[in-house]
């Protein structure tokens, strides 16, 4: 677990005989100290460790938030459980698609049954889904066994809510419409000891017409560059060799700061951190990816040779309805410029198929972009209505059968180009970060190339976290088998 020493000191110094301080982060340190005491007492009473489980849905940002929740629970004295049958169960939810909400409600129903057989069990729901009032109402009325509901803007107050949930009966609900501050320095439990994500911005100002994020995560807020750099330095000192800088649109980083700082400038500073071997970022919006950024990636070998550049559609008409602020040709020239300037870069993308009003002619345009850019990989999604977004109200929704037919066409084009792109690397020797023992065959470890592709090589757990030189022997479509050289 990575816990900032300063925050650790605050927790140690917390005077539980006095009321909780009003200032942050002292207040959360005080509540964390209090939570520790409660957990210690219960452990002594029950003569067993108290367990927790955090179930995460959705994107990288949520995964990062879950690491913070896990960090706080571990720091309070809980031990991680292998299943949802735990003393403190957290669902960190996503709301990008309507069916994501349904999945969470299904899981919650099952958790209610677990709770009947586990006295004292507490259940919390947080994340994007509960930023929507209708979902909170549904939990309040139909899932009355839930103990705690909190949103994305007040996650930093989790130690305080944790105490309330542990000390009281009944549902605690706290959802904020906007963030009042960015609180740094709470504990974080990283999933991988050697790599980590770091938030650089929160929220989004873009209002793509199909997306709920700006409504649930709020307007864009950038963290101060010094805070980000300090966090990266701390991570490196703690054994991290790869950092991914995270934001809904990293290109707009810093525009809201008192002293503006561009994403390209921030990235240049992060590259200077000694001991940091690889830097990734997610996600740049194509409408404002600057020449400066391309140059910084080109000139810094520490930055991964991978740019994820969400296309969404190749049709100008659909792009306009999506409110994406670029055209097909602008996207293609940007991708070409990136490829010219950064040899070996892989470009991956997201594509939505079956957007309201979309026709076969629009899909032809999307396939044309897929072929002309030659994506190394693409995540293709069938459009599904997201309640609360402008696209959900558009009258010309595409019938489901049409959508799946269009989807198959796009997928075929993507697979053809992606296989060709991967194939050309066969026989090359490249640097790869060993990430884990292969889940299917324990004689192999799985490593990630700078271009984000995976390679499986014979080896054991002792290699995990190391940067290896690997020869790519055999291409299997989207991944390789290789040998350490
Ligand atoms: S850029 Fe568009 S798709 Fe991405 S989070 Fe913002 S509104 Fe959603």
Is pLDDT at 380 greater than 80 in this prediction? yes
Give pLDDT, residue 94.
83
Nearest-CA residue for atom 4 of ligand 1: 248
Give the single-character DSSP code of 130.
Answer: G
Region 461-474: what's the mean pLDDT? Answer: 97
| Pocket-forming residues, ligand 1, beta carbon under 6 Å | 204, 206-208, 211, 213-214, 248-249, 285
Tell me the mean pLDDT in the region 341-354.
96
What number does the ligand 1 atom closest to the CA of 323 have? Answer: 2
Which residue among 62, 199, 214 is best mutated to probe the pocket of ligand 1, counting the most ligand atoms within 8 A of its Cβ? 214
pLDDT band at 78 (very low <50, low <70, confident <90, very high): very high
**1 pLDDT exceeds 60?**
no
Mean pLDDT across the stretch 407-411?
Answer: 96
Look at residue 321 in the predicted model and tell me its pLDDT.
98
Q: How far is the CA of 321 from the centre of ligand 1 (A)?
A: 14
Residue 229 has pLDDT above 60, yes or no: yes
pLDDT value at 5 more than 70? no
Residue 465's contacts (CB-CB under 8 Å, 6 or more residues apart) are 192, 193, 194, 239, 241, 433, 434
Torsion over CA: 152, 155, 156, 157 (sign): positive
> Could you count the other beta carbons within 10 Å of the beta carbon of residue 259?
7
- Compute, in angstroms, the gap from residue 244 CA to the centroid of ligand 1: 18
Phi, psi values for residue 382, rounded to 5°: -80, 130
CA–centroid distance, 365 to ligand 1, in Å, is 22
- Counting atoms of ligand 1 from 1, which one is nearest the CA of 285? 1
Mean residue pLDDT across the chain: 92
C-alpha triplet 403, 135, 188: angle, nearest 5°: 95
Asked if the model's pLDDT at residue 185 lies above 90, the reply is no
Report the distance separating Cα 306 and Cα 377, nearest Å.
11
Residue ranges of the domains in the chain? 5-174, 192-304, 316-424, 429-484
Mean pLDDT of 333-343: 96
State the average pLDDT over residues 44-60: 92
Q: How far apart are CA 63 and CA 47, in angstroms?
A: 32
Whether residue 320 is predicted with pLDDT greater than 90 in this model: the reply is yes
Euclidean distance between CA atoms 110 and 145, whole angstroms: 11
Distance (Å, rounded) from C-alpha 274 to C-alpha 237? 10
Q: What is the pLDDT of residue 180?
A: 62
Provide the pLDDT confidence category of residue 88 given band limits of 50, 70 and 90.
Answer: very high
Q: What is the mean pLDDT of residues 384-413?
A: 94
Class of domain 316-424: alpha beta
CATH 3.40.50.12160 holds for 5-174: yes
Question: What pTM was computed for the model?
Answer: 0.82
- Tell me the fold of 192-304: Transcription Regulator spoIIAA (3.30.750)
The answer to whether domain 5-174 and domain 429-484 are alike in fold is no
Q: Which CATH class is domain 429-484?
A: mainly beta
CA gap 369, 311 in Å, rounded: 9
pLDDT by residue (tens digit) across 421-432?
Answer: 999 999 999 999
Interval 189-195 mean pLDDT:
87
pLDDT band of residue 168 (cuts 50, 70, 90) is confident
């Amino acid at each position: 677990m990575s816990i900032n020493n300063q925050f650790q000191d605050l927790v140690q110094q917390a005077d539980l005989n006095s009321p909780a301080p009003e200032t942050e982060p002292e207040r959360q340190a005080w509540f964390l100290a209090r939570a520790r005491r409660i957990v210690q007492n219960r452990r002594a009473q029950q003569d067993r460790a108290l367990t927790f489980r955090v179930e995460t849905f959705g994107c990288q940002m949520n995964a990062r938030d879950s690491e913070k929740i896990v960090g706080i629970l571990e720091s309070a004295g809980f031990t991680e459980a292998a299943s949802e049958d735990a003393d403190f169960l957290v669902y960190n939810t996503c709301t990008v698609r309507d069916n994501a909400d349904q999945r969470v409600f299904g899981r919650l129903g099952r958790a209610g049954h677990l709770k009947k057989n586990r006295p004292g069990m507490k259940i919390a729901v947080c994340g994007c889904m509960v930023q929507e009032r209708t979902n909170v109402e549904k939990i309040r009325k139909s899932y009355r066994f839930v103990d705690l509901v909190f949103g994305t803007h007040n996650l930093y107050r989790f130690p305080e809510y944790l105490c309330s949930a542990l000390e009281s009966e009944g549902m605690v609900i706290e959802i904020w419409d906007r963030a009042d501050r960015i609180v740094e320095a709470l504990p974080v439990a990283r999933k991988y000891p050697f790599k980590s994500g770091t938030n650089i911005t929160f929220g989004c100002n873009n209002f793509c017409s199909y997306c709920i994020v700006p409504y649930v995560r709020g307007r864009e807020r950038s963290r101060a560059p010094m805070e980000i750099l300090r966090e990266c330095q701390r991570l490196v000192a703690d054994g991290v060799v790869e950092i991914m800088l995270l934001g809904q649109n990293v290109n707009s980083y810093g525009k809201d700061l008192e002293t503006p700082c561009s994403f390209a400038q921030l990235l240049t500073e992060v590259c200077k951190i000694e001991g940091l071997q690889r830097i990734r970022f997610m996600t740049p919006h194509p409408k404002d990816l600057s020449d400066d950024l391309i140059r910084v990636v080109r000139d810094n070998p520490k930055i991964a040779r991978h740019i994820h550049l969400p296309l969404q559609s190749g049709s100008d008409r659909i792009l306009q309805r999506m409110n994406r602020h670029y055209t097909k040709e602008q996207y293609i020239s940007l991708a070409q410029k990136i490829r010219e300037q950064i040899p070996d870069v892989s470009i991956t993308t997201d594509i939505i198929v079956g957007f309201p009003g979309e026709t076969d002619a629009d899909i032809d345009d999307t396939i044309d972009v897929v072929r002309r850019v030659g994506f190394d990989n693409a995540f293709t999604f069938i459009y599904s209505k997201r309640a609360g977004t402008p696209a959900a109200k558009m009258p010309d929704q595409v019938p489901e059968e049409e959508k799946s037919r269009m989807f198959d066409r796009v997928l075929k084009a993507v697979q053809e180009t992606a296989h060709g792109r991967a194939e050309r690397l066969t026989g090359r020797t490249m640097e790869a970060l060993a990430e884990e023992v292969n889940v299917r065959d324990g004689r192999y470890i799985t490593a990630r190339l700078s271009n984000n592709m995976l390679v499986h090589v014979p080896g054991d757990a002792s290699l995990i976290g190391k940067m290896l030189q690997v020869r790519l022997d055999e291409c299997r479509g989207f991944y390789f088998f290789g040998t350490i050289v």
